[in-house]
Structures are given as C-alpha cells and as structure tokens.
Amino acid sequence: MQLEELPRSEAQPRVFLQPIAAPSILGLYGLAGATFMAAAQMARWFGSSHTTLLLVPFAAIFGGLAQFLSAMWAYKARDGVATAVHGMWGAFWMAFGILNLLIANGQAPAPSGPLFPELGYWFVVLAAITWVCVGAAAAENKSLMTTLIFLAAGSTISAIALLVGSEGLVILSGYLFIICSGLAWYTASALMLNETYGREVWALGRSAQARQMPSIALGIGEPGVIRGQV
C-alpha cells in the first residue's frame, strides 16, 4: 500500500503586533480618584453619617473596576508591579463597596467609632503587599516608587488606627493617602503626556535599568506588546 504524499500548505505563519498603552495610566488615575475621595473623609475635610455610603459607587467603579481592568491589561503587558498594585487595590475598592452596602442593609454589623479590627486586618494585608511593591517599583521609576511609599505608609497607619481605635491615626492616614493620591495623579499624567508627545514632558525619575530596557520587548507571550510603563 503506497501512501500519497499530501501537498505542502502554502500558508505562511503571521505575527500580529499588539502594542497597547501603559495600563497604569488608567490604573493610577483610578487609584488617585478613589483614594482622594476616601482620604478626604478620613482627614475630616468633609463628611456626615451618610458620606461613606455615598462614596461607594465612585470608589467601587472608578477605583475598583477601572483599576482591576488596568491590572488585567498590565498582566498582558508583562508589567508585574502594575498587575499587583492595580489588581490588589482594585479588588480592595470593590470589596470595600460591597462591605458598606452590607452594613447599610443591616446584613453586617456597623463599627462603633474608629475601632474596626476586621477592616484593620484588611489594611495589614494591603500594607504588606504594597511595601513589597515599593521595592519592585524602585527598579522602574522614582515617581511610582514614591506614590507607593505613601500608599503603603497610609495602609500601615490605617491598620494600626483601626486595630486600636485611634481617631488621630485615622486622620493621619487620611493625609498620607491624600499625598499618595496627588502623586498617583502626577505619575499617571506623566505617563500619558510622555506617551502622547513621544518624549519626556514630565519627569518620572526612571531608573538606569528602565532606561536601558528596549521599548518593545518580544520575549515570551504576546509579541510586540510595549512593556508596562517604562
């Protein structure tokens, strides 16, 4: 029995390049907006008994959903720092929204004053991971690193404040988060302006390692994806 040789396919493999914008532009704007609104209340700039519930839609969508989506795009862009930061904090803001809805509907007990150890342990986890992200961000740029320093510091003080029930520490953490939100706004704006103009308009303080990294990293996975924010 003789096997007939099959004709060789004339189809040639094709590579489709999929460059994407820096996911941290959206992620940092989401972080800046949600953090500022919540931090201003923590710092006692404004607020009433209904303020937290009224902030939930903005925080859960702008800080939660937008950040979480940017984390998924950062994953595709092989940006580990942005994936961790925006994925973790995006999930936090969505969970924070759900928690406040449960409290408002009487399905979860409302805290009495600043003592709220259950939420305090949330911030223990957030602080621990964010401090590690600070070290990783040092390899990318000083602007992101400084943003995360204040984010981690605010989380640390918030954890202590909620665990011991200190009103003064709650206010202090609010101010740390306000500074973080301003830095996040600057970093996101710098990323957007530098990308739009094709040159450094606002300085990010990129590390020597980041400056030596090629703009397009083929690597393993999606070819042609611009790596993260560097």
Within the chain, residue ranges assigned H as helices are 24-42, 51-58, 66-76, 80-104, 117-137, 142-164, 167-197, 208-212
Q: Which residues pair with 216 in a beta bridge?
A: 226
- Name every residue whose Cβ is closer than 8 Å to that of residue 76 and which is 6 or more positions away in sequence: 20, 222, 225
Dihedral, CA of residue 222, residue 226, residue 229 and residue 230, to nearest 10? 120
CA-based nearest residue to 123, from 91, 162, 87: 162
- CA 104 – CA 110 distance, rounded (Å): 8
Instruction: Please report the pLDDT score of residue 14 as a whole number.
Output: 55
Half-sphere exposure of 199 (CA within 13 A, CB side): 1
Per-residue pLDDT of the chain (230 residues; tens, 9 = 90+): 555 555 555 555 554 445 577 899 999 999 999 999 999 999 999 988 888 889 999 999 999 999 999 999 999 888 999 999 999 999 999 999 999 999 988 898 988 889 999 999 999 999 999 999 999 999 989 999 999 999 999 999 999 999 999 999 999 999 999 999 999 999 999 999 998 998 999 999 988 776 766 554 434 344 444 455 44
Instruction: Please report the pLDDT score of residue 225 as a whole number.
Output: 45
List C-alpha distances in Å: 192 to 111, 150, 175, 204: 40, 22, 26, 11
Instruction: Please report the pLDDT score of residue 115 as a whole number.
Output: 93
- Name every residue whose Cβ is closer than 8 Å to that of residue 155 and which is 6 or more positions away in sequence: 123, 126, 127, 130, 173
List C-alpha distances in Å: 120 to 4, 5, 134: 72, 70, 21
Look at the alpha carbons of 111, 115, 118, 121 in this order and tell me if their dihedral is positive or negative.
Answer: positive
Instruction: Please report the pLDDT score of residue 4 as a whole number.
Output: 55
- CA 109 – CA 50 distance, rounded (Å): 16
- CA 161 – CA 158 distance, rounded (Å): 5
Q: Is 116 left (phi over 0), alpha (psi -120 to 50) or beta?
A: beta
Helices 167-197, 24-42: inter-axial angle, 10-degree rounding: 150
Answer whether 223's CB lies under 8 Å from 56's CB.
no
Instruction: Please report the pLDDT score of residue 74 as a whole number.
Output: 92
Rounded to a whole number, what is the largest CA-CA distance in the chain? 89
